[in-house]
Amino acid sequence: MTKCIAFHSYKGGTGKTTISANFSALLAKKGYNVYLLDLDVYAPSLGSYFDIHEPKKWINDFLLGNASVDDVCIDITKRISGDIKGTLNVGFANSSKEEIYKLEGNVSRQSSQMQLLRNFILLREELFVKKNADFVIIDTSPGIRYWSINTLAVSDIVILTLKMGDLDIEGTKKMAQEIYGAFTKFGTLCYLLLNRGPGYCSIPEFQHNPVNITEKHKGGGSGNSRHYSSLEDLSSTIDIGIISEIPCYCDIQFSTKEFLTGLEYPEHPFTLKLANLATKLETNETYSQQQ
């Protein structure tokens, strides 16, 4: 059982980095060898998330053929708190202007787009075959950019992350129809993850678009989880099931420094939501039911 899972979105700020980092940490805690890659090459943030700013080598170096997988992936298991039974390894991206330019494949023949993509596929293969990765988790760039598409192409599972109240439902729909459709034809599994839904700080009487609490959410999880009809509509229009709904938690949104809520607070509802997501995705079975 090996899986490459990408967290993608149409726009930024939907929670890809927060969720991919915490999700990876929880899988490592369970005993898996997890490789978390920052492929948000245009605006990477795992470096500041884990406070690692000068890795020996960057993912960029591997893609350009100038580094090995061991150079690029840093084992941070001992740096994170908790009883971690597996390992957490992270590959960081260099966002300097010249590096981004090189990754666009326009600089020389050696870094042609085809060669870069080949190296990216090689990175995935080496992680699974040489490094015995159980999971490769990829934090992507939002939208339809060269490296987002490449990431979707190498992934077994794509999780389209949406922020509740997102104004860009139409853009998301279009992207999913045009791009995801092509990948699902070849067996990629795609799911919707609705993040930052009405949470603990919302007062029902003053909610602008009152929505029905569906039966399945009554008494479960946050107790506040609701469906926006437009999001349900999105799910059915693009035919992607909702795999998880995560409320907005003020302590996460307003924390002054990013940290792994999933490890620091095992009983936090955010942690429980991600643990539930891990259970769904760790099995070999195709997850086909809605939450």
Ligand X SMILES: Nc1ncnc2c1ncn2[C@@H]1O[C@H](COP(=O)(O)OP(=O)(O)O)[C@@H](O)[C@H]1O
Under the rule (CB under 6 A), what is the footprint of ligand X?
9, 12-18, 195-196, 246, 248-249, 252-253, 270
Which entry of ligand X, Mg ion, none binds 172, CB below 5 to 8 A by partner kind?
A: none
Q: Which residues of 247-280 are buried (b: 16+ CB within 10 A; e: fewer)?
A: bbbeebeeeeebbbbbbeeeebbbbbbbbebbee
3-state SS track over the chain: CCEEEEEECCCCCCCHHHHHHHHHHHHHHHCCEEEEEEECCCCCCHHHHHCCCCCCCCHHHHHCCCCCHHHHEEECHHHCCCCCCCEEEEECCCCCHHHHHHHCCCCCHHHCHHHHHHHHHHHHHHHHHCCCCCEEEEEECCCCCHHHHHHHHHCCEEEEEEECCCCCHHHHHHHHHHHHHHHHHCCCEEEEEEEEECCCCCCHHHCCCCCCCCHHHCCCCCCCCCCCHHHHHHHHHCCCCEEEEEECCHHHHCCCCCCCHHHHCCCCHHHHHHHHHHHHHHCCCCCCCCC
Task: Write down the least CB distance from residue 40 to Mg ion, Å.
Answer: 5
Q: Tell me if 195 contacts Mg ion by CB under 5 A.
A: no
For ligand X, give the closer residue by CB, 134 or 245: 245
Which entry of Mg ion, ligand X, none binds 253, CB below 5 to 8 A by partner kind?
A: ligand X
For ligand X, give the closer residue by CB, 106 or 253: 253
- Side-chain-facing half-sphere of 248: CA atoms under 13 Å: 16
For ligand X, give the closer residue by CB, 33 or 222: 222
Q: Tell me if 87 contacts Mg ion by CB under 5 A.
A: no
Which entry of ligand X, Mg ion, none binds 248, CB below 5 to 8 A by partner kind?
A: ligand X
For ligand X, give the closer residue by CB, 16 or 124: 16
In the stretch 13-52, what mask flags binding to Mg ion with x, by CB under 5 A?
Answer: ---xx---------------------------x-------
For ligand X, give the closer residue by CB, 30 or 268: 268
Task: Write down the least CB distance from residue 202 to ligand X, Å.
Answer: 12
Which entry of ligand X, Mg ion, none binds 9, CB below 5 to 8 A by partner kind?
A: ligand X
Task: Write down the least CB distance from residue 138 to Mg ion, Å.
Answer: 11
For ligand X, give the closer residue by CB, 18 or 235: 18
Task: Write down the least CB distance from residue 280 to ligand X, Å.
Answer: 17
Task: Write down the least CB distance from residue 24 to Mg ion, Å.
Answer: 14
Task: Write down the least CB distance from residue 91 to ligand X, Å.
Answer: 16
For ligand X, give the closer residue by CB, 202 or 253: 253
Binding residues for Mg ion (CB under 5 A): 16-17, 45
